[in-house]
């Protein structure tokens, strides 16, 4: 699968308008396109950060949808989005939650890696990092996204609620440090977001 992500920042006072528009239209727009697999929308309202990802069965499906939907996405994000960054990734490993109730939270870690190590890094996450995360109380699943050409990746982990997210920070730090050390990764950022919308289809 391939994932197109967007990372947008702006005035916190304007973020709810953008979130409301995306919540109302995004799934309908995306799911009308061939190859749609899922969509997630996440926010840090206090900082004025909005991030989202749409999931596609093939790279061509992702490309076609991007061309078709770019203008409407930009309209929905105006006037909130003062900065915008859009990237495309390959889903190296995915463990999707069967069902996600409202109130879930999302932790996102971004890292750099040597592109030649992509398969090894994905295998280690699949065999060690993800199972360890899923043993944490309240963990609903997670994924690793990689862009071997740009040598960048991310790991996103979903938790049932804010309390589970908060309680997981210590154990998750241990898991993260072990993975960074063993994989020869450089951790670039660590963020936490409220889940605004999550739509998961059969892939």
100 or 5, which is more confident? 5
State residue 96's pLDDT score: 73
- Mark 177-203 as b/e (b = at least 16 C-beta within 10 Å): eebbeebebeeeeebbbbbbbbbbeee
> What's the CA gap between 47 and 164, in Å, rounded?
21
Distance of CA 176 to the CA centre of its chain: 17
The position carrying tokens 């996204």 is 145
- Residues 13-63: pLDDT tens digits? 999 999 999 999 999 999 999 999 999 999 999 999 999 999 999 999 999
Q: Is the pLDDT of residue 192 over 90?
A: yes
Mean pLDDT across 139-157: 97
- Residues 69-79: pLDDT tens digits? 999 999 999 99
pLDDT > 70: percent of the chain: 97
The confidence band for 200, taking pLDDT boundaries of 50, 70 and 90, is confident
Q: Which of 25, 28, 36, 33 is nearest to 75 (CA)?
A: 25
| Cβ neighbours around 28 below 10 Å, total | 8
The stretches of the chain forming alpha helices (DSSP H) are: 15-31, 59-77, 118-124, 130-134, 162-183
State residue 173's pLDDT score: 98
| Cβ neighbours around 25 below 10 Å, total | 14
Q: Is the pLDDT of residue 95 over 90?
A: no
The confidence band for 98, taking pLDDT boundaries of 50, 70 and 90, is low
* Average pLDDT value for the chain: 95
In this prediction the pTM is 0.94
- Residues 102-113: pLDDT tens digits? 799 999 999 999
């Amino acid at each position: 699968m391939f994932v197109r992500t967007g990372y947008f920042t702006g005035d916190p006072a304007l973020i709810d308008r953008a979130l409301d528009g995306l919540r109302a239209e995004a799934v309908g727009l995306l799911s009308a396109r061939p190859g749609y697999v899922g969509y997630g929308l996440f926010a840090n309202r206090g900082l004025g950060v909005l991030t989202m990802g749409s999931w596609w069965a093939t790279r061509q499906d992702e490309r076609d949808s991007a061309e078709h939907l770019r203008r409407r996405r930009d309209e929905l994000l105006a006037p909130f989005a003062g900065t915008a960054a859009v990237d495309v990734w390959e889903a190296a490993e995915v463990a999707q939650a069967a069902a996600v109730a409202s109130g879930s939270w999302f932790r996102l870690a971004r890292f750099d890696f040597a592109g030649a190590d992509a398969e090894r890094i994905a295998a280690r996450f699949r065999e060690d990092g993800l199972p360890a995360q899923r043993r944490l109380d309240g963990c609903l699943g997670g994924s690793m996204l990689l862009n071997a050409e740009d040598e960048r990746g991310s790991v996103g982990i979903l938790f049932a609620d804010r309390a589970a997210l908060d309680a997981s920070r210590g154990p998750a730090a241990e898991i993260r440090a072990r993975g960074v050390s063993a994989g020869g990764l450089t951790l670039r950022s660590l963020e936490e977001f409220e889940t605004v919308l999550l739509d998961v289809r059969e892939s």
